Amino acid sequence: MKNYVKEFMEKQGRKPTEYELGRMMHLSAKGTAGARKTKESIYAFGKTYHHNKLDGRPRVPLQLSTNAKNINNLMHKNFDKKTIAIILDLTETSVKNIIKYARLPRTPEQII
């Protein structure tokens, strides 16, 4: 088993910060889950995750309900949540829940 802290201290010449130590622990646990460890370097951890440019999970096309489609269209026209709730005769909480669940606003190619 690799000693990531020792390797880091030899390479960098200093003790790791709390954030760096957490990332090293994450990579160590990631490789010991029954799979053989890859040759990924702990110093290139930004390249090991396959997310979109905003560091979130990728958006897959989703079948939206009619309310979600209407909310998406109104969000593209820069309406706020209170106004959307009044226009569609919904509560503000339900509008927020639909936005959170469907991860709105979406582009037309992200809607089925």
What letter does residue 13 receive in the DSSP assignment?
S
The confidence score (pLDDT) of residue 39 equals 54
* Token reading at 16: 């790791």
Domain boundaries, the chain: 4-47, 66-110
The confidence score (pLDDT) of residue 7 equals 84
Question: Long-range pairs for 14-19 at CB < 8 Å and ≥24 separation?
Answer: none
Alpha carbon 9 to chain centroid, angstroms = 30
The count of C-alpha atoms lying within 13 angstroms of the C-alpha of 21, restricted to the half-sphere facing its C-beta, is 8
Burial class (CB in 10 A: 0-12, 13-18, 19+), 24: buried
The confidence score (pLDDT) of residue 25 equals 79
The confidence score (pLDDT) of residue 53 equals 53
In the numeric block, the tokens 């799979």 are attached to 35
- pLDDT tens track, the chain, 112 positions: 567 788 888 888 998 888 888 887 777 776 555 555 555 545 444 444 454 455 556 667 889 999 999 999 999 999 999 999 999 999 999 999 999 999 899 998 889 8
The confidence score (pLDDT) of residue 5 equals 82
